[in-house]
Amino acid sequence: MPTFRAPRGMHDLLPADRAAFARLEAIADDLAARYGYRQIETPMFEQTAVFERGIGEVTDVVEKELYRIVPRGDEGESWALRPEPTAGIVRAYVQHGMQTWPQPVKLTMTGPMFRYDRPQAGRYRQFWQFDVEAIGDPGPAIDAEIVELALRFYTDAGLAPVELHLNSIGDAACRPAYVEELRTFYRRHADRLPPTERDRLERSPLRLLDSKDPTVVALNADAPVITDRLCAACLDHFVGVRAHLDALGIAYRLDPRLVRGLDYYTRTAFEVFPSGATGQQSAIGGGGRYDDLVEALGGRPTPGIGFGIGLDRVLLALEGAGGGTGAAEASPQAVIVGADPGATIERLRIATLLRAEGVPARADLGVRKLGRQLEGAARDRAHFAVIVGDELAAGDVQLRDLQAGTQRAVPLDGLARELKRAASSHRHGPEGRG
């Protein structure tokens, strides 16, 4: 039994896991660049007020899940690990004067987030998100682009088809009246509410629509819906979003009780589920518009929209779909082995020369027989074994194609060139026989 373990709710990414994450990160980076989103990196912790003002104090994230950092000495500031990326990115947008840049400012980030959540499948206390934000465009077209980009990620990752749920949650013009109507509805059923939700009823009744409690979920089936109470501007925006999605051929399910779990959302809200999955806990990504967040964090009123995709959940969904994660660990193109088990200097020297030429190579530095070295090269899934023997005195090595089963002498000074040629042609054997 190991003495030390990873913290509860967190997990190590072993080589195969890290390769799977790297594949998703590469897909995210490629898509973001194709769509014109530039990379940004924010600190892993921020002033607690950034999340309290941005996300909302009456949310699970701030009330229950925030990892707060105890300051040392007389620093006097309260800090917290980032539970999501949007608030920190918007803080950076305001702090660095990005409102003077050409709008919209399109930003992307992929990295770890932290929430003190109850550990369960797909819900870790340290988790990874692919995040995209477009700040400065109020129109419905950018909403549709954001949604399409998110769906494209799932397709490229191998998880299509997925199910898109869509809603509009109004804005400061129409939502207050709806919230009061919602409060009145829940007051009639206050005796059925658990204590936590009864407390939220007065402070933020909209949060009850996002409740995971089975009693409240059942109650919500009869709750009033926001889409019947949108003001003209919000309704026009929502009609525009749907028109753009329809033009792109994107299917969606209208979900009038989808509110997301953070206070900064306005108007468009969406979530993505694996095909056939149900329940809020099954969502593998989502996002929405946050037209009031920039102002809440000290900037001029500026619209924005974005999404976050949980990479941990995507990997679980891929495994659940039976297709695997689609990731392969990197293999060396060549492993340098030797007839003389103790001649590790020459094996290391040749591997170093190949790496300098850009050839992925590993030197077998164990003092063991040639047969065992070749077995190790095969386990590494190397294409070639470079065998160092007596021929080295004449400037040659033996190049064995482990996949084709052929072997021939190659001048050492042409070895890197020969391996690059083989990599580009994907052929086996000295004459290119398949």
Q: What is the pLDDT of residues 37-91, one digit of tens each?
A: 999 999 999 988 888 887 766 566 666 678 888 777 666 678 899 999 999 999 9
Cα 246 from Cα 183, distance rounded (Å): 34
What is the reported pLDDT for 227? 86
Q: Out of 123-137, 182-196, 361-375, which region has the weakest mean confidence (pLDDT)?
A: 182-196
Assess contact for 361 and 335: CB atoms under 8 A: yes
- Diameter of the chain by CA atoms? 93
Assess contact for 68 and 79: CB atoms under 8 A: yes
Cα 291 from Cα 301, distance rounded (Å): 7
| pLDDT beyond 50 at 431 | no
Model confidence, pTM: 0.85
The CA-atom distances, in angstroms, between 222 and each of 193, 200, 256, 381 are 14, 18, 12, 59
Cα 304 from Cα 99, distance rounded (Å): 12
**Band (430; pLDDT cuts 50, 70, 90):** very low
Cα 56 from Cα 46, distance rounded (Å): 15
Q: Out of 14-18, 41-45, 295-299, which region has the weakest mean confidence (pLDDT)?
A: 14-18
Write down all domains in the chain, each with its CATH number in brackets: 15-174+230-320 (3.30.930.10), 334-423 (3.40.50.800)
Q: Strands 361-363 and 334-338, how do they pair? A: parallel
For 90, the token pair is 């918007």
Cα 396 from Cα 407, distance rounded (Å): 13
> What integer is the mean pLDDT of 278-304?
87
For 300, the token pair is 């001029």
Q: Which residue carries 């056939």 as its tokens?
A: 276
For 430, the token pair is 């000295």
Assess contact for 347 and 336: CB atoms under 8 A: yes
